[in-house]
Amino acid sequence: MTTIDLEHLGAVRTDWTLDEARTLFALPFNDLLYHAQRVHRLAFDPNRVQVSTLLSIKTGACPEDCAYCPQSVRYETEVGREELMDLEDVISAAEAARRSGATRFCMGAAYRNPKPKQLEHIKDMVREVRALGLETCATLGMLTPGQALELKDAGLDYYNHNLDTSAAFYGEIITTRTYQDRLDTLQAVRDAGLNVCCGGILGMGESELDRVQLLHTLATLPQHPESVPINQLVQVPGTPLHGLPPLDPLEFVRTIATGRLLMPRSYLRLSAGRLEMSDAVQALCFLAGANSIFYGEKLLTTPNPGRNRDTELFARLGLQPETGRATEPAA
């Protein structure tokens, strides 16, 4: 494998080779965590964690066929169809999130791509949430360049659009939109001046190489995503991926650590799947460079650790939530 000068890691690069990424991923576990924590401290307070809350503002009846998702209309799950939430209910949820210590409020809608009338309602939500002093994030499916600009003008701070997995494995997970479709949306979001939130899901049956390729794709975008959510598959009965063998927790930690080395100034978020993780695994993830979580008992439609459990874990680890508007270093 390629030789890397490990002592000089920490510079922001978008020209990583796949061999370099594979070399980092394959480091002895202790060496990998050591260098990840060292690089993490160059840009971040190692004892501060950015806290976000995620609300499903429109649930179910999605026409896409993402094999992991219970919101797809193609699968028989317990997730029902709910129309776009009323503005007042979204404001109430955002106020509750702020009281709980969240600094960013993320709104997710199960759309392939939002229609103009739907986007108008969501822009009103963005304005009202931002008026509360929270950062705003949305995930609404594919966007055109014009839609991205509209959301920017409404005050949206971040747009989430995950790549999910490697380009090679992608076709095993979803067929109703292409990998290039996702990259095009990311480019539209970036061109509009929005911060990019983009990551993937582990434990879908992908190989180690797929995990490295996902990280490599993210780290070689023209600009690193400001936020990189790393999800562990939450297996939902009725979806095609239900029943897969669970991912080795150390593989998850290894992915976080490699992501930290490849994208030293991006926030790495522990997203879905934390409920199934032990406190020890989460602690290793923070040591490996994760510095963002979702607060709240539900992420869109899947369960998440309650606020009390997270508060207790933070206390045991000596971690503190970031306060005020989170400012993320420019890549």
* Annotation says 137 is catalytic: yes
Catalytic residue among 22, 66, 198, 211: 66
Catalytic residue among 182, 265, 269, 274: 269
Catalytic residue among 197, 254, 265, 285: 197
Give me 240's structure tokens.
């095609």
* Annotation says 177 is catalytic: no
Catalytic residue among 104, 106, 190, 274: 106
* Annotation says 197 is catalytic: yes
* Annotation says 62 is catalytic: yes
* Annotation says 69 is catalytic: yes
Give me 147's structure tokens.
């839609």
Catalytic residue among 69, 177, 211, 254: 69
Q: Annotate 227-288 with DSSP letters as a single string.
A: EEEEEEP---TTSTTTTPPPPPHHHHHHHHHHHHHHSTTSEEEE-TTGGGS-HHHHHHHHHT
* Annotation says 285 is catalytic: no
Give SS3 for 50.
strand
User: Taking Cα atoms as reference points, which of 231, 229, 297 lies closest to residue 263?
Assistant: 229
Catalytic residue among 22, 104, 137, 198: 137
User: Taking Cα atoms as reference points, which of 99, 97, 148 lies closest to residue 123?
Assistant: 148
Cα separation, 314 vs 166, in Å, equals: 32
* Annotation says 198 is catalytic: no
Residues designated as active site:
62, 66, 69, 106, 137, 197, 269
